[in-house]
Amino acid sequence: MKLHREGYLIMTGGLLLLSGIQFLNYFLFKYTGWLWLFALLSLGVLTMAYLIIQFFRVPNRTCVYGENDIMCPADGKVVVIEEVEETEYFHDRRIQVSIFMSPLNVHANYNPISGLVKYVKYHQGLFLVAWHPKSSTDNERSTMVIEHSSGKEVLFRQIAGAVARRICYYVNINQSVKTGDEFGFIKFGSRIDLFLPLDSKINVKIGDVVKAKLTKIGELG
């Protein structure tokens, strides 16, 4: 496991602040005999330090996939599987699969398929809770489309939530990418939407807990 570069500044600042709080805690409470309050605040400081560090963790995982496999781009829980009208790029019917990421999930994001990046666009927007039906179209978000070697295209969208305030992505138009390579990161709770061709085979169901690079979302038809 490693820690993501997007968290270096936040982790450094957070740990320095928590160290200062613990320093004051020692002199205000332990040194003056309020041991129970010192212990309680120390536990709170350790808990916050753990939460900050674990949010930016990146587990070591090997992505094993077939040529037509659509791999999971993020850790989280499947909250939507439905046929919808995709209005930003395709302007036709697609299968939407949405994955909600809580603050406790790994938040690095990975390419669901290999191919050529055909479209990248960042949208400013609102910060509705990530499970809100309009978060996919109204929230701050970034949209990317990869064209598979078969000619079929998959759209995936990073969506900010009520807590998430920074979307990071690292791909560009006409860039060749590989399944399981990192394409971005979202800081704090958020969501990923996938828009797949209608003939895609879906291997997950609503409520499934999925893992980036390990869970197969489905297969291109």
Residue 2: exposed, middle, or buried by beta-carbon count in 10 A (0-12, 13-18, 19+)?
exposed
- Two tokens, residue 19: 């160290």
To the query of whether residue 190 is one of the catalytic residues in this protein, the response is yes
How far lies 130's CA from each of 9, 29, 171, 187, in Å?
25, 40, 23, 13
d(CA 80, CA 205): 8
For the chain, the distance separating the N- and C-terminal CA atoms, rounded to the nearest angstrom, is 35
**Which listed residue (98, 114, 190, 200) is catalytic?**
190
Secondary structure class of 139 (helix, strand, coil): strand
- Two tokens, residue 143: 């949209």
How far lies 102's CA from each of 7, 129, 187, 188, in Å?
17, 11, 11, 7
Q: Of 166, 221, 165, 159, which is closest to residue 194 (Cα–Cα)?
A: 159
Tell me the β-bridge partners of 97: 81, 194
Annotated active-site positions, please? 190
